[in-house]
Structure 1
Amino acid sequence: MVTSSSLSLDDNTAFSNLVKYRQVVGSLQYVTLSWPDIAFAVNKVCQYMHAPTENHWSAVKRILRYLHGTVEHGMLIRCSSGSFKLLLTCYGKVIPISLLKLSQMLTGMEIQMIDALLNELGIRSSSTPILWCDNLGATYLSANPIFHARTKHVEIDYHFVREKVAQGDLRVQHISTHDQIADIFTKPLPTPRFLFLRSKLQVVARP
């Protein structure tokens, strides 16, 4: 998406073909399964399916042009050499501290559900799942009980993460903002940054 522009309701004249918009955007939702790098852009245009404007349609066409230009790209899945080891990792974004409980709780719950599903299938993780967070304060809060008195305003949902860390079911570790892969799913990025994070998702040109 263009970093200098933002989409909003009623930001232009209404798009004349509502059915076409919904069909194309609905199809793009399936494309994100193999093109995770377009997930943020597709999520944005999905928010206006009830009343799209010409600007929203222009954003959709930009996504289509990107897909056309990267048609030879796909997710690279390598065969593991030696013994198989599974380690679940996820990346969480915390912007204002007031959103800490929501973002970390949802990410923590999701990785716990995936771990439980794999256990039911007889697949055991080789280590405790890791949640990587680029907010140093949030990382400390998730593991340090000394901060408890300062965070009484944070609702109980947030303490789900703290509880899982205390039980040894989850580790929260700090990662630099530069290496925070979750950025590609949360905001429009300049081209160099976008391409760097896309490579981290293992979305590459097919040989």
Structure 2
Amino acid sequence: MHDPWEPHIHALQRTVRYLQGTLEYGLHLYKAPSRRLVAYTDAVWEKDTEMDIHFIRKKVARGEVRVLYVPSRFQIADIFTKGLSCLLFDDFRDNLRIRSPLAETAGVYWM
């Protein structure tokens, strides 16, 4: 940023403090069962809005897609775009499988 303001500096400091406090956390990946579920989120609307609206309307009209209401409590992508309460943030982080390791493995070698 070429002209940071005080709120930007505070946000950066808060982010750095969070990262320093969670250095042991990692992303745990598991093979998920195959499902035919497609989720459209707010990110879809950030590109060509008119084209996306018509695209989804056609899919709904053909019965290829059902549009369901999803409460904000289950909008996990909000962790990347919005300020959340600590409880909601921790819940979303757990749902993304970002956790501290179950056991210390650094320097341990198994034969």
Residue 73 of structure 1 contacts residue 206 of structure 1 at CA under 8 Å; is this kept in 2?
Answer: yes
Count, aligned residues:
102
Structure 1 residue 90 corresponds to structure 2 residue 39 = yes
Structure 1: stretches of 5+ with no match in the other structure:
1-48, 94-102, 110-154
Q: Greater relative contact order: 1 or 2 (C-alpha under 8 angstroms, separation 6 or more)?
A: 2
What is the 5 A alignment of 1:24-103?
A: 49-80=1-32, 85-90=34-39, 92-93=41-42
Please tell me whether residue 202 in structure 1 is matched to residue 97 in structure 2.
yes
- SS in structure 2 opposite 1:174? coil
Q: Which structure shows the higher helix fraction?
A: 1
Q: CA deviation at 1:76?
A: 1.3
CA distance in 2, matches of 1:54, 1:177: 30
Which residue of structure 2 lines up, in the alignment, with residue 27 of structure 1? Answer: none
Which structure features the higher share of strand residues? Answer: 1
> Aligned residue for 1:171?
66
Partner-residue secondary structure (3-state), 1:160: helix
Structural RMSD (CA): 3.0
CA contact (8 A) 1:74 1:204 kept: yes
Identical positions, percent: 39
- Could you give the per-residue CA deviations for residues 50-69 of structure 1, whole angstroms, max 9, x where no partner exists? 31123312211211111111
Corresponding residue SS for 1:172: coil
